[in-house]
Amino acid sequence: MSAEPNNSAIFDENQESSPNSPEFLATESEASVTDEAETATEEIAFSDEFSLLGAMAIDLQEEIDNLKQQLEEQTQQVDAYKKRYISLAAEFDNFRKRTGKEKEELETKIKGKTLMEILGVVDNFERARTQIKPVNDGEMGIHKSYQGVYKTLVESLKRLGVSPMRPEGQSFDPTYHEAMMREYTDEHPEGTVIEQLVRGYTLGEQVLRHALVKVAAPKAAAPNAEQSEAAAISLEECVIIFAYRIVKCLLAKTFRTILLKKLSV
């Protein structure tokens, strides 16, 4: 007698593996719940990470804004310092130029006052050369001796920048010349310097002493003989006038020195 297949066991197995079986549904439900829980956990974790990243991004943005503000403030401060530096540099350069110019002008003024005293000695040498005529060997030796001193003095003045004026033949210029005489003539244009009566000098571009000159005037404007004789000024008179001016300056300087000494006491 042959064994019959156990249909009940097969049925039970098929029943357990069937999608509609309670066990399968329960398993599927548990798996679904587990998946949902894992998904929810992942979503929560992602949400937390996203919130953390958002907070970090906000903090970074605030820090960036603060750094930008600090950079802008520092840039403005640097620009202010730069402008101040440029202004100070310009002020210092102007101060340096101004003080240099003032120093140069003061040195020229002091040098001019000193040289004015020496020019009087030069004038005396020139007058002696034109007026004294040596007649023997002894006088010639003396003449050569003091003329040697005169030449040395003139060379020293040249080294200091003093130059004599040579206005003869030039147009009269009140900046450099002082008219002492007029000569009515048709040989020279009106206003031409005919003769230098007392030599003038310059120190660089500065007038150290004006030249006392004789100026040409048109002959047609000449006064009559009596007026001409009354108005004529000789060379000796010009020298006297110039000497009077020098003495007047020296007396004024001496008086001022005495007055300052008394005031200081």
* Per-domain boundaries in the chain: 77-160
pTM of the model: 0.50
Q: What is the mean pLDDT of the chain?
A: 77
Q: Per-residue pLDDT tens for 137-157?
A: 887 888 788 888 888 988 998
Q: Per-residue pLDDT tens for 49-106?
A: 777 777 888 888 888 989 999 999 999 999 999 999 999 999 999 999 999 989 988 8
Mean pLDDT computed over 205-226: 80
Q: What is the DSSP string of the chain?
A: -PPPP-HHHHHHHHHHTSTTSHHHHHHHHHHHHHHHHHHHHHHHHHHHHHHHHHHHHHHHHHHHHHHHHHHHHHHHHHHHHHHHHHHHHHHHHHHHHHHHHHHHHHHHHHHHHHHHHHHHHHHHHHHHHHH----SHHHHHHHHHHHHHHHHHHHHHHHTTEEE---TTSBP-TTTEEEEEEEE-SSS-TTBEEEEEE--EEETTEEEEPEEEEEEE-GGG---HHHHHHH---HHHHHHHHHHHHHHHHHHHHHHHHHHHHHH-
The least confident of 83-87, 168-172, 225-229 is 225-229
